[in-house]
């Protein structure tokens, strides 16, 4: 693929990543901007807390599909390195969307979609880790970060000693990006002030 092709694909990946599922869902259902409530994020967790399980699930799946589509396109068009570039920019677009005043989600769901294409079974295991931590601690941010670290150790670290070393460095880069987006959550976790999720919201027995 020519240089201009890489530029076009990279720009498209950022734009697609920045298409805010959370904003679309919240405006369609309630006619509101979900970023004005809760944590101020347009990600699935804030939609879940603000609007309930259904809208939260739609937001989660929409953000995952963005990562899947962009990474798969990059893989088919330019191979693994192009897939990594597209995936990284999609996550960045989700966190800092150009069309939403650079105020989006935290990048976790989109990162999960990216990782599903690059190492599907390892990603599913990392998702299990994430939801297990969320269930045990009721901290969504902690579970999300645990899943990312889990992916790095399960899928990335073995590749560092084989022919897929690029996967480790890419996973490390995504971890750094998402951890930066979670910097306030990390501070609250360390100080013991992070908000917990009500498990009744996840099971659908109660609205957030």
63 within a domain of the structure (yes/no): yes
Quote the percentage of the chain above a pLDDT of 90.
60
User: Does pLDDT of 206 surpass 60?
Assistant: no
Asked whether residue 29 is domain-assigned, the answer is yes
Cβ density class 129-152: b for 16+ within 10 Å, e for less? bbbebbeebbbbbbbbbbbbbbbb
For residue 120, give every residue at least 6 positions away whose Cβ sits within 8 Å of its Cβ, in sequence order, or none: none
Task: Check pLDDT > 70 for residue 201.
Answer: no
Residue 71's pLDDT band (cuts 50, 70, 90): very high
DSSP H or E segment with residue 25: helix 21-29
Q: pLDDT averaged over the chain? A: 89
Q: Which residues of 64-101 are buried (b: 16+ CB within 10 A; e: fewer)?
A: bbbbbbbbbbbbeebeeebbbbbbbbbbbbbbbbeebe
Q: How does residue 20 score in pLDDT terms, banded at 50, 70 and 90?
A: confident
**pLDDT-based confidence at residue 202 (cuts at 50, 70, 90):** low
Q: pLDDT, tens digit, for every residue of 80-90?
A: 999 999 999 99
pLDDT at 72 over 80: yes
Q: How confident is the model at residue 190 (pLDDT cuts 50, 70, 90)?
A: very high
Classify residue 208: in a domain, yes or no: no
Q: What's the pLDDT tens digit per position in 133-148?
A: 999 999 999 999 999 9
Contact by Cβ (8 Å): 105, 92: no
Query: How many structural domains is the chain composed of?
Result: 1
Q: How confident is the model at residue 138, as a pLDDT?
A: 92
Domain that holds residue 91: 3-203
Reported residue count of the chain is 208
pTM: 0.89
Residue 102 has pLDDT above 80, yes or no: yes
pLDDT attached to residue 204: 58
Q: So what's the pLDDT on residue 208?
A: 44
**121 lies in some domain:** yes
Whole-angstrom Cα distance, residue 18 to residue 157? 29
Q: Between these two residues, 34 and 70, which has the higher pLDDT value?
A: 70
What confidence category does residue 111 fall into, taking pLDDT thresholds of 50, 70 and 90?
very high
């Amino acid at each position: 693929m020519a240089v201009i092709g890489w530029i076009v694909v990279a720009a498209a990946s950022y734009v697609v990543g920045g298409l805010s599922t959370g904003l679309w869902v919240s405006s369609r259902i309630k006619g509101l901007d979900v970023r004005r409530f809760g944590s101020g994020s347009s990600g699935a967790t804030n939609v879940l807390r603000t609007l309930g399980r259904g809208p939260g699930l739609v937001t989660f799946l929409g953000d995952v599909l963005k990562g899947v589509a962009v990474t798969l396109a990059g893989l088919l068009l330019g191979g693994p390195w192009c897939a990594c570039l597209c995936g990284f920019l999609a996550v960045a677009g989700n966190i800092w969307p150009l069309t939403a005043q650079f105020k989006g989600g935290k990048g976790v769901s989109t990162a999960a979609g990216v990782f599903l294409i690059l190492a599907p079974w390892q990603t599913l295991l990392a998702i299990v880790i994430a939801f297990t931590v969320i269930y045990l601690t009721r901290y969504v941010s902690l579970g999300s970060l645990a899943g990312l670290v889990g992916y790095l150790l399960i899928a990335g670290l073995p590749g560092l000693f084989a022919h897929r070393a690029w996967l480790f460095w890419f996973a490390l880069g995504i971890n750094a990006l998402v951890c930066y987006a979670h910097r306030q959550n990390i501070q609250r976790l360390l100080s013991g002030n992070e908000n917990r999720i009500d498990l009744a919201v996840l099971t659908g027995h109660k609205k957030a």
